[in-house]
Chain A
């Protein structure tokens, strides 16, 4: 059991160290993209209601 814990602790953080810059870039693109699309829908929705 102790051996298993030692092995799991050794691999616990992954072989690729760091990489948070990729995670931050990915989430920033995702949230910005969805937010911009939401704004685009809101503007088009307002325009559509005005034309009714």
Chain B
């Protein structure tokens, strides 16, 4: 497939993703029934759950890419790790904010140091640190190795976040499943997970290309800046 064809397909896919996203929002906000206990406030779930799921998926991609990089160094896996870390931070920050808004009418507080919330907060701070580390190291190879090791340590938090509600039964509810939830709610949640996943894929592809182009510029013109400065000085 040539570049123009690929580009045209990508541009055509964007309105399709936007339509699916709009329909999913309609199903979650209008079609799905209100919850027996929480009433309409429960509709926040259709955005909060997919956002947090995408954060966990992105954290998993970050871990896999980092391990792969250490076994077989490649700028592609390094670029994908950088992209997934940034997207995990964005999705996690928004998802946590939605959870806090949902917590106010249902728990009575925006924030509690519950194990689930605390482990997510640790992940967000760690991801911000990971992205800061990438900015502070100039040498691309050293940066990629340090980032990969840091990411593997950070990724230990991902399964802890998932299982925290099962291990420490506290304020945050345990994951629901389709057998315990109204089919109309399951339908709405599936549409929203699909919509948020498609947006996630678009973001990941675009961010990956930006990171890979930046890496290629760094490695194809090694030490270009210092040489230029020396030439100017002499």
Contact = CB atoms under 8 A, between A and B. Distances in A.
B47 A27 contact: yes
21 contacts: A12-B36, A13-B39, A14-B39, A14-B40, A16-B37, A16-B38, A19-B38, A22-B105, A23-B44, A26-B97, A26-B98, A26-B102, A27-B44, A29-B94, A33-B90, A33-B94, A37-B90, A37-B203, A45-B209, A48-B209, A48-B213
Given A22-B44, A22-B104, A51-B213, A14 B199 contact: no
List of 8 A-B pairs having minimum Cβ-Cβ separation, nearest first: A14-B39, A19-B41, A33-B94, A16-B39, A26-B44, A26-B101, A48-B213, A30-B47
A41 B203 contact: yes
Interface of A: 11-20, 22-23, 25-27, 29-30, 33-34, 37-38, 41-42, 44-45, 48-49, 51-52
Contacts of A42: 206
Contacts of B33: 12
Nearest to A33: B94
B134 interface: no
A38 to B, nearest CB: 7
A27 B43 CA distance: 9
A16 B203 CA distance: 36
The A interface, classified by DSSP as helix, strand, loop or mixed, is helix
Interface residues of B, number: 36
B44 to A, nearest CB: 5
Interface string B69-108: 0000000000000000000001001100110011011100
Given A37-B90, A42-B206, 19 more contacts: A12-B34, A12-B36, A13-B34, A14-B35, A14-B38, A14-B42, A17-B39, A18-B39, A19-B40, A19-B41, A20-B40, A22-B105, A26-B98, A27-B25, A27-B44, A29-B97, A33-B90, A41-B210, A51-B213
B64 interface: no
B154 interface: no
B172 interface: no
The B interface, classified by DSSP as helix, strand, loop or mixed, is helix
A32 to B, nearest CB: 9
Interface string B11-50: 0000000000000010001000111111111111001100
B90 A30 contact: no
Contacts of B90: 33, 37
B213 A23 contact: no
